[in-house]
Amino acid sequence: MPKAKETILEIDLNALDNNYQYLTSKIKPETKVLAVVKAFGYGSDSVVIAKELVELGVDYFAVAYANEGETLRNAKIETPILVLHPLPIHFEVILNRCMEPSIYSWKMLEEFITFAEEKKQINYPIHLKFNTGMNRLGFVESDVPYIVEILSKTESVKVKSAFSHLAASEDLKEKEFTLKQIKSFKKISEVLISKLDYKPLLHCANTSGIINYPEAYFDMVRTGIGLYGFGNDPEENKHLKPVGTLKTIITQIHKVEKGESVGYNRAFIAEKTTLSATLAIGHADGIPRSYGNGKGWVIINGEKAHILGNVCMDMIMVDVTDIDCEEGDEVIVFGPSATAEELSAAINSISYELITAVSQRVKRVICRN
Ligand SMILES: *Cc1c(COP(=O)(O)O)cnc(C)c1O
């Protein structure tokens, strides 16, 4: 890649290919793969990512909200799309664009059936979400007979899949809890299948589920963060490659004398002569204020430069006193060598939060490294 001349997010499709191959090498050839491309493909570019995944042979996509799926349909992506968190106001677009809702509550089940009947649908695919311990969305085991009873009274919908979500699959200290979740999902699906006269797809593993719990694979796995290069585990990260590299440039360098300050509210006061580099990236681009005052850093010519003072909306200032650099130089915020996982840990956050925060103002550049 040529050096960055402005703030860009490079999206490395070869890294995505590598991650897809690595994650799918763990599962059986017949196990289906659902790629989670919500939140702009974890902050990258959902259309570019989804198109590449179609080439790689992905079976399903999931988005959180219907408008994210609409973006894929507008880009002529025809793969089935599971909408994980639909709301009644989204039913119209879900149906018009052939998306498939996750049905997680009585209200949703009843309202979606009414809607599908009004629209004269036959066997419209729905996905039943079960709560096995996350306590976020989903039916519980004792709901199954009643769900089946309601379903038996309508032809408008058909259960394409039943699924659950693991709450702590990345945390091996919670192994007992996770195994209990898997067991509970297994029981729910057995009861469900015994009462339906067909077998829906079953799925409950997210990325860390793929890595840590083969017993959670069932018919399909759902991977998000792993595709983008993070395995929530140092050993796994060796096999995965971050897809996104966030770059910016130095726009000006200031010599700040002892006693002078840098930025808003004079949050940094120089104790000695300090060289401060102003960068073309701020909290409106995805660097939260909490990285300010030395907590966060960027990489300039291979060296760590810590943030001086408060993060501004459009800029940050970093300490380059001991770094050989000049105005116009490229800066790496995160990427394969300085990972989002490492940087986010500096503020007790996680890779997911940092990568999904890269705002739409930042130009996306597609590459194959
Ligand atoms: C976001 C999400 C996933 C993806 O999880 P990763 O940890 O990113 O692999 C899977 N399933 C559900 C229900 C989700 O909301």
Q: Which pLDDT tens digit goes with each residue over 168-182? A: 999 999 999 999 999
Upper half-sphere CA count for residue 181 (Cβ side, 13 Å): 25
Give the model's pLDDT for residue 198: 95
Question: Ligand 1 centroid to 206 CA: how many Å?
Answer: 5
Q: Which two tokens stand for residue 91?
A: 């039913």
Which residue among 38, 129, 160, 241 is the active-site one? 38
Active site residue 146: no
What's the CA angle centered on 21, arms 20 and 26, to 5 degrees?
Answer: 100
Active site residue 198: no
Same-fold call for 13-230 versus 244-367 = no
Classify 100 as helix, strand or coil: strand
Ligand 1: lining residues by beta carbon, under 6 Å: 36, 84, 165, 206-207, 222-226
Question: Ligand 1 centroid to 39 CA: how many Å?
Answer: 11
Which residue among 65, 158, 186, 264 is the active-site one? 264
Give the model's pLDDT for residue 96: 98
pLDDT tens, residue by residue, 283-315: 999 999 999 999 999 999 999 999 999 999 999
Pick the atom of ligand 1 nearest to 223's CA.
9
pLDDT tens, residue by residue, 86-125: 999 999 999 999 999 999 999 999 999 999 999 999 999 9
Classify 221 as helix, strand or coil: strand
pLDDT-derived band at 348, boundaries 50, 70, 90: very high
**In angstroms, rounded to a whole number, what is the distance separating the alpha carbons of residues 208 and 224?**
10
What's the CA angle centered on 122, arms 34 and 138, to 5 degrees?
Answer: 45
Mean pLDDT of 336-346: 97
pLDDT at 137 over 90: yes
Domain boundaries, the chain: 13-230, 244-367
**Assigned CATH class of 13-230:** alpha beta
Please give the model's pTM, rounded to 2 decimal places.
Answer: 0.97
- Is 185:148 a contact under the CB 8 Å cutoff? no
Q: Which two tokens stand for residue 122?
A: 């036959």
Give the model's pLDDT for residue 1: 78
Q: Which two tokens stand for residue 314?
A: 């459009």
Return all residues near 30 (Cβ < 8 A) that are at least 6 apart. none
pLDDT at 2 over 90: no
- Is 308:268 a contact under the CB 8 Å cutoff? yes
Mean pLDDT of 178-193: 98
Question: Ligand 1 centroid to 165 CA: how many Å?
Answer: 8
Give the model's pLDDT for residue 105: 98
Give the model's pLDDT for residue 197: 86
**In angstroms, rounded to a whole number, what is the distance separating the alpha carbons of residues 102 and 231?**
25
Question: Ligand 1 centroid to 207 CA: how many Å?
Answer: 7
Average pLDDT score over the chain: 98
Q: Which fold has domain 244-367?
A: Lyase, Ornithine Decarboxylase; Chain A, domain 1 (2.40.37)
